[in-house]
Chain A
Amino acid sequence: MDIENAKAQMRKGVLELCILAIIEEDEVYPSDIIGRLKANDLIVVEGTLYPLLTRLKNDGLLDYSWRESNAGPPRKYFKITDLGRQFLESLTSSWQKLVHSVDQTLQKS
């Protein structure tokens, strides 16, 4: 079993949660999200982000608007929708439960 691959699979599972969490704080454009994720070592290649964003948006969890930038073309800024906020809450609580359960399991064994 490839350890890098296992790690990547783990990260992918929580990526949606993290993206929603970042966007919930403030309206951001993708490069900001990438910066935050990279800083926390949650993403390796940037390309991973875009399909996720598009899907979350298509599912109605995110919305975006165009804003002028001082360098370069207008940028897509994402913000969370009400549906997204609900989704995030339930995801967060199930994440915490999961963390608890995993910790318990790891301690016992």
Chain B
Amino acid sequence: MNKILNINLGGYALTIDDDAYEYLLAYIESIRQRFRASDGRDEIVSDIEARLGELITQHMGNRSIVMLPDVEDAVQIMGKPEDFGGDPATESTSSRSTGQQRTGSSPFSSIRTGKRLFRDPENVSVAGVCSGLAAYFGMTDPVWMRLIFVVLTLISTGFWLLAYVLLWILVPQAATAADRLAMRGEPANVENIAREVQEGFERLSQQMRTAGTKSKAIDALSRFLAGLGHLLSFLIRIFVKFWLLIAVLAVVALFIGLLVAWAGGIFALATAAPLFAYLSPFSEGVTWLGAFNLFFLIGIPILGLCLITARQLFQVRTPMWLGRSMILLWVLNVIFMFVLVTFSVKAFSQSGVLSKNIDLSNLQSDTLRIETSGGFSGQNDFHIGFFDSDGLRLSDDRLEMNGDIEISIERSNTGRFECTQTIRAHGSTNTQAMQNAAQTDFNISAGNHALLVPTTYSLLKGNKWRNQEIRINFSVPVGKYVVFGPKINEYVHGRVDYANSDDHNYINEYPDQVFRMTQDGLVCAGCPQFGDRDYREDHDYENFILEGNFDTEIRKGDNFKIRIDGPADAIRKIRSGEQLTLTTRDATPGTKVKVYIETPTFTSLHADNTGEVTIRGFDEDQSSITARGSSYIRAFMESNELDLTLSGKSQIELTGKGNHLEVNLNDDAVLDASNWRVDEADISASENAKGRVNVRNNVRLNATDESKVKVEGGAEIHQ
């Protein structure tokens, strides 16, 4: 059911259906817009209205109500307003019509030209700005536009509200039905948006001018607003074109990148092609098929992307079957690839191990020397991205791999040198894996002076690479020696029994060094050891435990260094983290031993029944010293906080200063801190302990009767 209206169209009294009316109204409004700058607008419009009336009446024949087709027919005859063009009068009087001219030539199917931004009075929450915008951009529900505005307001901390107010002022309300139609008419493209902005400002400028008061300021302001509108619309056009350019460049770059990747992939596959025989679980034909499969897998999406872009940019129509068959081909590729990958993975699913003992019974010497029988250098190698440069070498009949080889050394229980070689490989079944291991060519051989161990294994043509791992285990009897030559020593990174792993003397760091097997494990006879003269290492120690009868000097230095004057094996060195423990091997060493330590930081010292300890040159925030037994400690340093705990017959002499001193004296301990100037001190003393401190402000003292604590420096004493 539709409403019926009675109208007077250019003198013709018509009874018109509501739809037809809206359409007619929009059409006439669009003509009005078209000639809005001409002097004779009203006359033109009324002439056209009269002719429209005539045309409609003719088309109706005997019917009494004007329907939509009648209006459409008349409009068809009359033509679209933008086709009226060519009227020099309108063109000269209106600069805007040039813009319209251009939009007229762009493909607008609708006669409702000049889609305009309106505020929608029928769908208002504040002023209808959002609903108008939503209509303009073809959104079905204005709630999204409102949401965008709310979010933008939050993001901009309220500044976006200004934009809303500006739009409220600039954008007119859709007052008539034609306005409402125009509100949703024309597609929102850059040109139209830019024009809308410009026209909005011009309208504002016009309103100011017609407001009445003719002052120069108003005139200037209105001209300024019109100029601002021009500028904004110009900027919008430039901005969009700029981003369009960026987008096009990005797409081009993407294509180039993809093509390079693809070409690189083809090149890599072509380079790697000879390896397929060793890798692939399939016959040669299937393998190649699989390789090409990969190209389609990547190539088809690239091609698809190209076609889509071409269609967007150049309006190239691609036939429907092309896209469909590409998708079909791609899906087939994916399935095929999936099958291939499944089989390939299965070829690695089981593992098998093959061990063999190497006969060393011919070895008469006490020293087992191991050298490499050679691998290959990086020069004539096969270069493929994901293998390192000297990873593998391919010749006509074999593939050599610089593979996973690991040497371990343990103490022999049998009193003889022994060597076991283990090859692990994978396969689709356990038997297959064992077979793959057996087919791996890796031979340890006896040379003139040494056992020769290769650093590569090789696979004869027809055999498969199945992630072979080679493990070599040497057993060395106690008292015998082992020497690894250069290069092969780097492979000694399995389980190795070292006597004192704290010495950091490992075979893989010291080629050609003799290592002796002891009850505790391997010891490097010739390597520098911790405690050797000026032994230097990167690791620093700041906590020291000293036990036994030797003297020690700890001083500040840039790097950690330790030097022991006296028999080197007299002192045992135990290192853990930042803590270094030095103890005498025997209760009393025969000769006098002195240890010199340099370290950047001093944190704690624990001296237990040791000799004379001197600490020099540190300036610390916090440190502590504990002394027991007969230890005698002298410290020349500074420490904001210093904790002292003394017991037994230990003595300590402090020279320097700090803020706070915490002292705990027991037994017969003696503290002389009269040259250690502090602000505060907490002192507790018991038994026969004696102490002298130098405190400026406060001392909390808790001393038994027998003990003697003397406080100098004028501090207030709290018992």
Contact = CB atoms under 8 A, between A and B. Distances in A.
Interface of A: 5, 8-9, 12, 15, 30-31, 44-48, 50-55, 57-58, 72-76
A54 B44 contact: yes
A55 to B, nearest CB: 5
Interface in B75-95: 77-81, 83-87, 89-90
A12 B87 CA distance: 8
A7 to B, nearest CB: 12
A30 B51 contact: yes
B578 interface: no
A46 B78 contact: yes
A73 B86 contact: no
Nearest to A12: B86
B57 interface: yes
B57 A72 contact: yes
A44 B85 CA distance: 12
Interface string B48-72: 1011011001000000000000000
Given A47-B31, A47-B84, A48-B84, A54 B79 contact: no
Given A31-B54, A50-B84, 12 more contacts: A8-B86, A12-B86, A15-B86, A30-B47, A44-B83, A45-B84, A51-B87, A51-B90, A54-B40, A72-B11, A73-B11, A74-B11
Contacts of B81: 47
Contacts of A55: 40, 87, 89
A73 B78 contact: no
A8 B89 CA distance: 17
B78 A76 contact: no
A interface majority secondary structure: helix
A50 B77 contact: no
Contacts of B80: 45, 47
Contact of A51 (B38, B53, B78, B105): B38
A51 B51 contact: no
A51 B40 contact: yes
A57 to B, nearest CB: 8
B136 interface: no
A52 B77 CA distance: 17
A78 B491 CA distance: 110
B39 A58 contact: yes
Interface in B10-63: 10-12, 31, 35, 38-40, 43-44, 47-48, 50-51, 53-54, 57
A52 B79 contact: no
Given A46-B77, A51-B40, A76 B47 contact: yes
A50 B45 CA distance: 8
Contacts of A73: 10-12, 50, 53
A9 B86 contact: yes
A17 B268 CA distance: 76
B48 A50 contact: yes
A107 B175 CA distance: 59
B104 to A, nearest CB: 11
14 contacts: A12-B85, A12-B86, A30-B47, A30-B51, A44-B79, A47-B31, A47-B84, A48-B83, A50-B84, A54-B43, A55-B89, A57-B40, A72-B57, A73-B50
Nearest to B35: A51
Contacts of A75: 50
B386 to A, nearest CB: 57
B643 to A, nearest CB: 97
B87 A46 contact: no
Contacts of A15: 86
The 5 closest A-B pairs by CB, nearest first: A45-B79, A73-B11, A12-B86, A54-B40, A47-B79
Contacts of A53: 47
B491 to A, nearest CB: 79
Given A8-B86, A55-B87, A73-B10, A48 B79 contact: yes
Nearest to B40: A54
A48 B90 CA distance: 12
Given A51-B38, A58-B39, A73-B12, A45 B54 contact: no
Contacts of B57: 72
Nearest to B89: A55
Contacts of A5: 105
B56 to A, nearest CB: 11
A47 B47 CA distance: 10
Given A30-B51, A31-B51, A47-B31, A58 B77 contact: no
A45 to B, nearest CB: 2
A52 B35 CA distance: 12
Contacts of B105: 5
